[in-house]
Chain A
Amino acid sequence: MRRFLVLLVVVSLGITFAGTAAAQGEEKVLVVGLSEDYKSLDPSRAYEPGGSLIHVSVYDTLVTFPSDSVGEILPNLAASWDISDDGLVYTFTLRDDVVFSNGDPLTAEDVVFSFNRMKNLKGNPSFLADTIASVEATDDLTFVMTLNQPDPAILAKLIFDAFSVLNADEVRANGGTDAPDAAETDTAEPWLMNHSAGTGPYIVESYEPTVQTVLVRNPNYWGEPAYFDRIIIRNLPETSTQKLALEAGDIDIAMDVIADQVPSFESNPDIEVFSTQSDTLIFLLCNQDPAIGGPVSNPLVQKAIRYAVNYEELRFLSGKGANNPAAMVPIGFGGALDPSEGLTRDLDMARSLLAEAGYPNGFEINFEYPDWNYIGTDFGIVAQKVQADLAEVGIKATLVPQEFQTSLDAYRSGRQGFSLWLWNPDYQDTLDYVEFLPGGVVGNRANWTDANADPEILALRDAVKVETDAATRNELFREIQLYEQEKGPFVPLFQPGVHFAFRSDLQGFNYNSQWRVDLTLLYR
């Protein structure tokens, strides 16, 4: 007992003096608060916005964007490239000074391995490689990519982190393969969740799902070393927790600031806010398959819903920086309709459309959505708003909140009847919004296929995919969007503003809509 008391005294003395004895020469740590949305850190499998934040710090792609815009394509691992006259063969010359984090030099073989593995894993981002027919390494630093059709967006696609270049030897040693049956035989994912095999300024030190991801500086980085020794990405699912933690200085950046919090941050001298228009589109999906969608598979009902939603209030709800795109192409993309051409709420129109569809008294429907928050959009709140709007025309929607991954998987496999979702562009070109058309990625999720779609929209889709003339392209996109206002299984709700808050001593903040923030450029 006495010994215990002595210990207690020693401990409490220790605690008292500890404050003054704060360690010197401490390592420089950047702490990021993020609502974690990724379940894989294998760049060839991951397909979530939060993952991009990490991959852009850990891996490199052949080409890239400037840190603050997506308007220009810059060399990265590839020092230069040539495009054949028919637009089918791309020849990249790699930089000769690049090494992986384990010291191995980068070769064209690594690029071949990474591209093939990504395609053959048949993961969520694999469709980005659909236009790539073959890849080969003609020598150590020359990488040749052949397309099966001209693809004006291919360079923009290559910037997506699914095309990250991995160290082939290291990944192979840990169970990776780029063979055609990689989807069944590749076992590198668990290793890649706790390690990395890239050329970026950081390496993955550890990943504890739902807790945190820790990056440490890559000692073998070939470029300018980054300022911070360590980056900790903390999973803070509640925006309020992020706000508290930022105010207390516990984190340096809050990635999920909601518009409601902006005024309070702006009045705080220790904190700076960065606000801009996002290119995220929040929309409703109505499944075209009557067995899944029920009443919402009816085109008249779909149109009625487009007239029942209160766009103006949704925009207000979303807060500063939000906007209402007129159709499924967000404002800011070439060929997008002007917001003034957008739909406005018309309850009488909605009611008469419902009556025409055979539902004069409305109907009941389950309304599914992922229970999460993305760049300040609380899906639960938006869903409740939509529910109230629909109730006014007699549509009784029962909210079915789902855990994010569960909901995402149901959505991706086309099993949701009526749901609320978001779309972030895969690459920075309006062509990405062809995915909302029949047979496209999102079109398929609504079971909108070549078989059940109007020939009119199929013709427009096929034309715009290969059109290279900018003016004709914009005209085609315009027609597509006008069609989307009339028909089709989607309802464009709004395009939220995006807000980030960070401690004012943090320098070098940058934003581009592809990966949001390049953490490697920050310093204090």
Chain B
Amino acid sequence: MKPGNSRWRIIRRRARQNPLMVVGLLVCLAWVLISLGADHLAPADPLRQSVMERLQAPSAKYPFGTDQLGRDVLSRVLYGGRTSLPAGLLVIVSATFVGTLFGALAGYVGGLWDELLMRFTEIFMAFPIIILAMAIAAALGPSVNNAVIAMSIVWWPNYARVVRSLVISVKSNEYVTSARAIGASPARILFVTVLPNCLAPALVMATLDIGNAILIFAGLSFLGLGPEPSSPEWGRMVSDGIDHYDQWWLSTFPGIAIFTVVMALNFVGDGLRDLADPRTRKAVR
């Protein structure tokens, strides 16, 4: 029997145990493909206006209808992932990176540094994300980059705290003590021995968090603190619907797009957590 066969069997068994995760993965994959292939998939240029055909209800020509400037809502929804998905991912990646760095240092070095960092992160945790991000985005001026920067500034302390506590618990393990006994340098111990053992839980947390980040980004964008108004971005498009309740299609479809992406990411995150540690199914985030 080839080893590949048994691996496939494991994957299939896992998939059967966790159908939601498979669905989630497929939906995520679909959105990634749609975003990448929007140029080919979208029936129209998402920026092309035909004012004379504005605010048309969904029809064969415009399956999702048209907006106030006669742009094709379907095409705009398909292009929307190009902003929201990378933005959410970028926030989490930069937050994980910075958070891991500071958290690991604090956890490993301990003492005064640890105390200082923890007090510092507490300050950030005391502000609700969106209000702090709103203030920062307003100060820097609205744009995708500034929204991402603002969110990252608010986000990383979470990761610093988690990684710190992971490092502290790994630090006391026997293999770390023995690495220290054979004279490995502190940097080597931290980066080669300790950190890799903390990564899995941090990554699971990050996956669960991408959906959250996309939600907050959409919220900022909805408030006008994200991308430029004409750009096809989901949160922004939902806000177009605010002045036009009768034209329900303006906000419904982009909303469904955000919703399906975030839901799929949550399916995947839940599944990953179960795989990583089947015992602790506590969802403390």
Q: A interface vs B, CB < 8 Å?
A: 238-240, 243-244, 258, 260-261, 264, 310, 313, 316-317, 371, 373, 378, 380-381, 383-385, 387-388, 391, 398-401
Contacts and interface: CB of A to CB of B under 8 A. Distances in A.
A348 to B, nearest CB: 21
Nearest to A256: B243
B54 A317 contact: yes
Contacts of B230: 384, 387-388, 399
A384 B229 contact: yes
B243 A239 contact: yes
B243 A238 contact: yes
A401 B224 contact: yes
A418 to B, nearest CB: 15
Contact of A401 (B54, B229, B243, B246): B229
Given A240-B242, A384-B69, A388-B69, A316 B224 contact: no
B54 A388 contact: no
Nearest to A258: B243
A464 to B, nearest CB: 36
The 10 closest A-B pairs by CB, nearest first: A313-B51, A384-B230, A240-B243, A388-B49, A240-B245, A399-B228, A381-B68, A399-B229, A380-B229, A239-B243
A378 B51 CA distance: 14
A239 B141 CA distance: 26
Given A398-B228, A399-B230, A401-B224, A316 B243 contact: no
A243 B243 CA distance: 9
A244 B245 contact: yes
Given A238-B243, A240-B245, 5 more contacts: A264-B246, A384-B230, A385-B49, A385-B51, A401-B142
- In terms of DSSP, what is the predominant structure of the interface of chain A? helix
Contacts of B51: 310, 313, 316-317, 385
B55 interface: yes
B57 to A, nearest CB: 13
Contact of B55 (A260, A387, A399): A260
Interface residues of B, number: 19
Interface of B: 47, 49, 51-52, 54-55, 68-69, 141-142, 224, 228-230, 242-246
B245 A317 contact: no
Contacts of A399: 228-230
Contacts of A239: 243
Given A388-B49, A398-B228, A260 B244 contact: yes
Contacts of B244: 240, 260
A161 to B, nearest CB: 29
Contact of B224 (A258, A317, A371): A371
B69 A317 contact: yes
A363 to B, nearest CB: 17
A391 B228 CA distance: 15
B255 to A, nearest CB: 16
Given A313-B52, A317-B69, A388 B47 contact: yes
A219 B51 CA distance: 52
Contacts of B243: 238-240, 258, 373, 378
Contacts of A381: 68-69
A293 B142 CA distance: 21
A244 B55 CA distance: 19
Nearest to A381: B68
Contacts of B229: 380, 383-384, 399, 401
A380 B227 CA distance: 13
A420 to B, nearest CB: 12
Contacts of A244: 245
B47 A316 contact: no
B245 A378 contact: no
Contacts of B52: 313, 316
A261 B230 CA distance: 22
24 contacts: A238-B243, A239-B243, A240-B242, A240-B243, A240-B244, A240-B245, A243-B245, A244-B245, A260-B55, A261-B246, A316-B51, A317-B54, A317-B68, A380-B229, A381-B68, A381-B69, A384-B49, A384-B229, A385-B49, A388-B69, A388-B230, A391-B47, A398-B228, A399-B229
